[in-house]
Amino acid sequence: MSAKIVRVAPGSIGEELELKAGDQLISMNDHPIRDVIDYMYYEASTDLSLLMEIDGEEVLFEIEKESEEPLGLDFEDFLMDSQRSCKNKCIFCFIDQLPKGLRETLYFKDDDARLSFLMGNYITLTNLSEEDIKRIIEMRISPINISVHSTEPELRVRMMANPNAAKINEVLHRFYDAGIEMNCQIVLCKGVNDKEHLKKSLEDLAGLAPFVRSTSVVPVGISCHREGLYPLIPFEKEDAAEVIDIIEEIGNRQRLKNGVAGCYASDEFYVLAERELPEEELYDGYPQIENGVGLMRSLQRELEMALDAEEGDDIARSVGIITGVLPAEYMRGLLEKVQKKFRGLEFEIYPIVNDFFGRMITVSGLVTGTDILNQLKDRKLPQRLLIPSSMLRAEQDLFLDSISIEEVRARLGRRIDVSLNDGADLLDKILGR
CA–CA separation, 397 and 369 (whole Å): 11
Q: What is the pLDDT of residues 116-150, one digit of tens each?
A: 777 788 999 999 999 999 999 999 989 999 999 99
- Quote helix, strand, coil % in the chain, to nearest 5: 40, 20, 40
Give residue 119's pLDDT. 77
How many Cα atoms are found within 13 Å in the side-chain-facing hemisphere of 74? 5
User: What average pLDDT does this structure show over 340-353?
Assistant: 96
* pLDDT value, residue 427: 96
pLDDT value of position 84: 82
- Comparing CA positions, the residue from 163, 210, 161 lying closest to residue 184 is 210
Confidence of residue 101 (pLDDT cuts 50, 70, 90): confident
Which of 316, 311, 199 is closest to 263 using CA atoms? 199
**Structural domains of the chain in order of their starting residue, each with its CATH number:** 3-75 (2.30.42.10), 95-292 (3.80.30.10), 299-430 (3.40.50)
Report which secondary-structure segment, H or E, holds 25.
strand 24-28
Helix/strand/coil (H/E/C) assignment for every residue in 278-331: CCHHHHCCCCCHHHCCCHHHHHHHHHHHHHHCCCCECCCEEEEEEEECCCHHHH
Beta-carbon contacts of residue 180 (< 8 Å; ≥ 6 apart): 136, 137, 140, 141, 142, 143, 144, 211
Rounded to whole angstroms, the Cα distance separating 240 from 199 reads 14
Contact criterion met (CB below 8 Å) for 304 and 423: yes
Measure the CA–CA gap between 366 and 370, rounded to whole angstroms: 11
Structure confidence at residue 394 (pLDDT): 57
Find the length of the chain: 433
> Is-contact 102 400, C-beta < 8 A?
yes
User: Strands, E, within 122-256: which ranges?
Assistant: 144-147, 182-188, 212-219
Q: The pTM is what?
A: 0.88
pLDDT single digits (tens) 17-63: 999 999 999 999 999 988 888 899 899 999 999 999 999 999 999 99
Give Cα 400 distance to the centre of its chain: 15
- Work out the pLDDT band at 76, boundaries 50, 70, 90: confident
Written as one string, the DSSP assignment of 146-184 is EE-S-S-HHHHHHHHT-GGGGGHHHHHHHHHHHT--EEE
Output the pLDDT for position 395: 58
Q: Is the separation of the CB atoms in 221 and 94 below 8 Å? A: yes
The tens digit of pLDDT for each residue in 355-401 reads 999 999 999 999 999 999 999 999 999 999 999 999 998 556 899 99
Taking only the tens place, the pLDDT of each residue in 159-185 is: 999 999 999 999 999 999 999 999 999
Rounded-to-integer distance, Cα 81 and Cα 368, Å: 32
Contact 183, 151 (CB under 8 A): no
Question: What pLDDT band is residue 422 in, cutting at 50, 70 and 90?
Answer: very high
Using alpha carbons, list the distances in angstroms from residue 180 to 67, 117, 120, 347, 422. Answer: 22, 11, 15, 48, 30
CA–CA distance, 259 with 251 (Å, rounded to integer): 10
Rounded CA separation 50/12 (Å) = 15
Considering only CA atoms, which of 357, 368, 332 is closest in space to residue 99? 357
State the pLDDT at residue 146: 97
